[in-house]
A and B are shown apart, each in its own frame.
Chain A
Amino acid sequence: MSITIEVNNKKIEAKKDETILEVLNKNGIHVPTLCHIKGMLPDGACRMCLVEQKESGKLITSCSAKVYDGLEVLTHSPKVTEARKVIVELLLSNHPDDCLYCVRNLNCELQTLSENLNVRERRISGKKNQLKIDRSSPSIIRDPEKCILCGRCVRVCEEVMGVSAIDFVNRGNQSYIGVAFDKGLNISSCVNCGQCIVVCPTGALTEKNHFSEIIQALNDKSKQVVVQYAPAISVSLAEEFGLPIGTDMVGALNAALRKIGFNFVFDTTFAADLTIMEESAELIKRVQENKNLPIISSCCPSWVKYAEEFVPEFLDNVSSCKSPQQMMGSVIKSYFAEKSNIKKEDIYSVSLMPCTAKKFEAQREEMTTNGISDVDAVLTTRELVKFIRLYGVNMLDIEPEVADSPLGTGTSAGKLFGTSGGVAEAAIRTAYYKLTGTELLNFRIPEIRGFKNRKEAKIKIGDLELGVAVVNGLGNAKKLLDEISAGRSDIHFIEIMACPGGCIAGGGQPLNFDQEAFKKRAEALYMIDNNAFVKVSHKNPDVINLYNNYLKEPLGEKSHKLLHTNYTKRNVLK
């Protein structure tokens, strides 16, 4: 039902049940927010979104107040702007003054608010709490002194991920956000997804940085520094360099990485294809033996850790395939090392990921061979952008190049790994071919594309009706797994991604949690697929070569040793 409200003395159409903030946003009126997360229930904690109700002169929170017929509000009256300014001044009153040294300098919501509200002096001086920085996690660093207690991280962790590793501790001006019993994040149930970093308005949450190790390796003449980049990376950089969101920058990226000094540039999409070869073989085997079904993808390290902690009863269902990052790491230090006559001790393997959990995954014990890590350092997309700037590479004026052989070719099926539904689609394309000898019509499974929390499809492969489910957000994964525990048996394959929308919206991506940006990145990946010549992993020439010359066959002895692993129950504070 349509109603009319008046905003700043102008009449505006609104729908009943909308919040004031939603109506304002739709009409291009900007009201600052801090604790609000688009698409989630309003919190009303930070009071930044205050507007003045004209009739009563009261200040109301626009994020939580609903519109009603005849409502009149002022969004930037003197009363409102003064109130907002005081809120920011209060937040700054116990905030560290080290913007210049902060990782979020020039990209901080508190800084921007302070600038926009013209805060020019420290009028209010508050008592600072002495809180320790938590560096215990391999992925995420928490600096509670920079925290403004907006609670976004707590809500994402609980409502989207269903993990609740952190919560508010204490009360009043003693409050902070922390792990139970003030333990480190490393022994909490944190799955390292990094969504807390993405929603954090300040520098209180950041990823663990490995610049110095990588720079050291790049300067070390005895090392061959190899780099791989995830399928989502090439479509996630553009806006950082002033190009339209979703522009594929793969050529410029290859060239830039060589300019920086990486000796070999490989594309993780190759390893995604390799994952599909192994995973589809595993799927077919399990379907034929009717064992450990449904098979659940293991590409997302946050999901894997979640399974180990919260649903260990499903660990036998999780595919034994390593993730593409780790398959690539493993192949680089075996096949590639042997082929190019480089000792594996002399290889320093870097991976560029849209993900913070990949940092955790790379240092897992299962992912090392004889004490040598398969992947030595992981950079997130955000860090990659900084790294490119550090080396002064101009991404807009660079001749595109292609990745190196023999691990640089990927098909568009592998590229789809970057978005929710992509792993399932790629796996089914190959499984379909292996089972029927013909390719899937149009190669497309539209039912499992898009941003819904859960997508399901039934695909006819010969006599078999294959049930596929795709979920993103670990909270949604739990709901599906509960259904399966309760006896649901029509699903054969489940793809689980921790981040809502998949890796294109990963916890390591540029800080812009705008659904539109994610959609554009996903569209870019599907566009690459539409235009691609080879759309199926089993036709990747480099993958075929790898099997012919080295691995022999999927699920074979060598594959088993290099590309598969197993996971065990994990006891954490949860």
Chain B
Amino acid sequence: MKKNVESIFEQYPKSGRPDLIPLLQDVQESYGWLSEENVVKVSQFLDIPVSNIFGVATFYNQFRFQPVGEYHIQVCRGTACHVLGSSTVLKEIEKQIKVKAGNTTKDGVFSIEIVACIGACGLAPVISVNGEFHAKVTVESIKSIIDSYKTIEKK
């Protein structure tokens, strides 16, 4: 259920600087990303300059400034996945969908996010597309995984 920013604010009656990160998390959870409009609203609500909020939000990987794609690909870059080659996996995904990590394709179909560890080290290297896990991915298997989502999209 999507809550609007104002109703999120209602949950922070005595708000101040310490509420910034939880509030941004709530906004992102509800909207999927942090839009300029919403960040400005948060800034006015907490009386913190927009530049400060942008600084805090860009410091953490978890915050996004673009809406996620229809298929949101999370690439695990945790230790186990890293050892088993997740960096080449990531590069291959970026190559396949022609967009860098942290961004969304122009048609809005795919987006890539790097996550630290999704807790499936036994399946490394692992990626998750809209919560659906793909285990032991390789550079070769990436193409077919992406293509399978492209076909669903076309139908």
Contacts and interface: CB of A to CB of B under 8 A. Distances in A.
Interface string B51-75: 1111100111000010000000000
Interface stretch (A162-170, A349-357, A454-462): A162-170
B105 to A, nearest CB: 20
Contacts of B60: 171
Interface of A is mostly: mixed
A181 B59 contact: no
A287 B57 CA distance: 49
B109 interface: no
Contacts of A167: 49, 51-52, 54-55
A165 B60 CA distance: 20
Interface string A132-167: 000000000000000000000000001000011111
A164 B48 CA distance: 9
A166 B58 contact: no
Contacts of B53: 180
B50 interface: yes
A171 B51 contact: no
A167 B56 CA distance: 9
Interface of B is mostly: helix
B40 interface: yes
B36 interface: yes
B42 to A, nearest CB: 12
| Residue in A158, A168, A179, A180 with the greatest tally of chain B CB atoms within 10 Å | A180
A90 interface: no
Interface in B16-61: 36, 39-40, 43, 49-55, 58-60
A86 interface: no
A164 B49 contact: yes
Interface string A178-204: 011100000011000000000000000
A123 to B, nearest CB: 28
Contacts of A164: 49, 51-52
Nearest to A174: B58
Contacts of A170: 58-59
A158 B50 CA distance: 12
Contacts of B59: 168, 170-171
A338 B30 CA distance: 65
Contacts of A552: none
B113 to A, nearest CB: 16
A169 B60 CA distance: 10
Contacts of A255: none
A30 interface: no
A140 to B, nearest CB: 15
A573 interface: yes
Given A164-B49, A189-B49, A574-B49, A181 B36 contact: yes
A173 to B, nearest CB: 13
A170 B63 CA distance: 11
Contacts of A188: 51
A395 B58 CA distance: 50
A166 B51 CA distance: 6
Contacts of B51: 164-167, 179-180, 188, 573
A66 B84 CA distance: 49
A163 B52 CA distance: 11
Contact of A574 (B50, B55, B58): B50
Nearest to B55: A167
Contacts of B54: 167, 169, 180-181
Contact of B50 (A168, A171, A180): A180
A189 B43 CA distance: 13
Contacts of A168: 55, 59
A165 B50 CA distance: 8
A167 B48 CA distance: 12
Nearest to A190: B51
A156 to B, nearest CB: 13
| Residue in B43, B51, B53, B55 with the greatest tally of chain A CB atoms within 10 Å | B51
A165 B65 CA distance: 19
A168 B40 CA distance: 17
B1 to A, nearest CB: 28
B52 A573 contact: no
Contacts of A163: 49
Contacts of A166: 51
B104 to A, nearest CB: 16
Contacts of B39: 180-181
A170 B58 CA distance: 5
| Residue in B39, B52, B65 with the greatest tally of chain A CB atoms within 10 Å | B52
Contacts of A169: 54-55, 58
Interface string A541-574: 0000000000000000000000000000000011
Interface string A218-254: 0000000000000000000000000000000000000
A367 to B, nearest CB: 28
B40 A573 contact: yes
A573 B52 CA distance: 12
B142 to A, nearest CB: 26
Given A167-B49, A180-B51, A180-B53, 14 more contacts: A158-B49, A165-B51, A166-B51, A167-B51, A168-B55, A168-B59, A169-B55, A171-B58, A171-B59, A171-B60, A180-B39, A181-B65, A189-B49, A574-B43
12 contacts: A163-B49, A164-B51, A164-B52, A166-B51, A167-B54, A167-B55, A169-B58, A171-B59, A171-B60, A180-B54, A181-B54, A189-B49
Interface of B: 36, 39-40, 43, 49-55, 58-60, 65
CB-CB nearest 4 A-B residue pairs: A164-B49, A180-B54, A167-B55, A167-B51
